[in-house]
């Protein structure tokens, strides 16, 4: 990730710039608390690499959390746009939920 990478999450007007700011966002705002709370499925969205992030619920199944579209330049992340809207998952061809790990 570049030092000036930007992480955005529309419709929120706040964005995060740089590795330290982005790391603090993930550490303090991500609802995952232990290993295995998140599962990710790779996908392509708008011709760019993306990942569907799923958060484990109380029943153990994984629910849609955020679709992250990644901007890469020369193999380095320069930006991420995260969408919380379930329609983004549908447009990317991703399921609403994943079964509990078993």
* pLDDT on residue 86: 86
Return the structure tokens found at 86: 């379930």
Are residues 45 and 69 in contact, defined by beta-carbon separation less than 8 angstroms?
Answer: yes
Residue with tokens 């708008």: 46
For 88-97, the pLDDT digits (tens) are 999 999 999 9
Beta-bridge mates of residue 64: 54
Q: Whole-number mean pLDDT of the chain? A: 93
Lowest mean pLDDT: which of 24-28, 36-40, 62-66? 24-28
Residue 57 predicted with pLDDT over 90: yes
> How remote is the C-alpha of 78 from its chain's centroid?
15
Confidence of residue 101 (pLDDT cuts 50, 70, 90): confident
The CATH code of domain 6-98 reads 3.10.450
Residue ranges of the domains in the chain? Answer: 6-98
* pLDDT on residue 102: 67
Does the N-terminal peptide bond of residue 11 adopt cis geometry, omega within 30 degrees of 0?
A: yes
Residue 66 predicted with pLDDT over 70: yes
Phi, psi of 90 (to 5 degrees): -60, -45
């Amino acid at each position: 990730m570049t030092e000036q990478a930007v992480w955005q999450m529309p419709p929120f007007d706040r964005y995060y710039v740089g590795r330290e700011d982005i790391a603090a966002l993930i550490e303090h705002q991500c609802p995952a608390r232990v290993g295995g709370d998140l599962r990710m499925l790779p996908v392509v969205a708008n011709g760019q690499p993306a990942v569907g992030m799923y958060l484990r619920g109380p029943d153990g199944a994984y629910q849609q959390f955020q679709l992250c579209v990644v901007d890469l330049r020369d193999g380095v992340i320069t930006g991420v746009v995260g969408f919380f809207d379930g329609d983004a998952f549908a447009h990317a061809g991703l399921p609403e939920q994943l079964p509990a790990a078993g």
